[in-house]
Amino acid sequence: MKTFQLKGSLRNELGKKATKAERTSDNVPCVLYGGAANVHFTCTSSDLRKLIYSPEVFVVDLEIDGKKCKSIMKDLQFHPVNDRVLHIDFLELHDNKPVTVEIPVKLTGLAEGVKAGGKLALEIRKLKVKGLYTNIPEQIVIDVTSLGLGKSIQVGNVSVENLEILNAKNAVVAQVKLTRAARGAAAAAAAKK
C-alpha cells in the first residue's frame, strides 16, 4: 500500500462551538482510534485533499504535535449541501492486529465474451478485505481473459493471499453481458442451423 504523510495538531477544546470555529478556519476535526486513548486533532483541508479525493487506499503516516504513528482512514463525513469535509476518523495500525478495508478491483485481459460481442461490466468496484495491513495490496487484480459471453466472476472465485474477503460469496464482481447485437447474432446463427 502507498503511504501518505499527514501532519495534525492536537485539539484542546472539544464540543460544537470549538468544532465550528475549527471548520471556519479551514481545518477539519479528526479523531484517531485504536490506541491507548482516542486522540482528537485537526488537519488543514488542503493537506487532506489528495488523501480524500483518490480511489487508492493509503497507510497514513500521521504526525500529531511530534508524535508519529501509522493509521488508515476509516470514516469520512461530508456536509450534505456544500460537500465540505466535516470530520474524519482514523484507525491506528498495529503489526499484529488485522484491519478491515475496502480495496479497489482492477480487471485485466480481453474477455472471450467481449470478442464475441458482449460488454464487460465491473459490478463491484471495491472489495472489503480483512488482514494485516502489511499484506494488503494497492488493488485486487482479476484476469477476465477466459470469461465467456453471459458468464460472471463471483466473490467466491476471487482469492487474495493472506487476506479474507468479507463480501458475500455469491456477489458478482464482473460479468460479460449480452448486448442486442450479440443476441441478434446468436439468434441468426441458431436460425441457420
60-79 per-position pLDDT tens digit: 888 888 888 888 888 888 88
How many structural domains does the chain have?
2
Mean pLDDT over each residue of the chain, to the nearest integer: 84
| Residue pointed to by grid coordinates 470549538 | 18
pLDDT on residue 181 = 67
| 158 in a structural domain | yes
Average pLDDT over residues 101-112: 88
In angstroms, the CA 39 to CA 62 distance is: 12
Q: How would you class 64 by CB atoms within 10 Å of its CB: exposed for 0-12, middle for 13-18, buried for 19 or more?
A: buried
Q: Is the pLDDT of residue 186 over 80?
A: no
Q: Which domain holds residue 172?
A: 99-188
| 110 in a structural domain | yes
Q: Is the pLDDT of residue 183 over 80?
A: no
67 and 12: one domain?
yes
- Phi and psi dihedrals of 115, rounded to 5? -60, -30
pLDDT on residue 3 = 83
pLDDT on residue 193 = 66
Instruction: Supply 175's cell numbers.
Output: 460479468
pLDDT tens, residue by residue, 144-178: 888 888 888 888 888 888 888 888 899 998 888 88
| 193 in a structural domain | no
Domain boundary among 92, 116, 150: 92
Distance of CA 90 to the CA centre of its chain: 14
Q: Is the pLDDT of residue 4 over 80?
A: yes
Average pLDDT over residues 117-144: 88
pTM given for the model: 0.76
State the CATH number of the domain containing residue 131: 2.170.120.20
130 and 146: one domain?
yes
Distances 7 to 44, 49, 52, 64, 67 between C-alpha atoms, Å: 9, 13, 15, 6, 10
Nearest to 126 by CA among 145, 109, 156, 106: 106
Q: Is the pLDDT of residue 51 over 80?
A: yes
55 and 77: one domain?
yes
Nearest to 84 by CA among 17, 22, 11: 22
61 and 137: one domain?
no
- pLDDT band for 182, please (50, 70, 90 cuts): low
- Looking at 15-24, 85-94, 113-122, 154-163, which range is the least confident one? 15-24
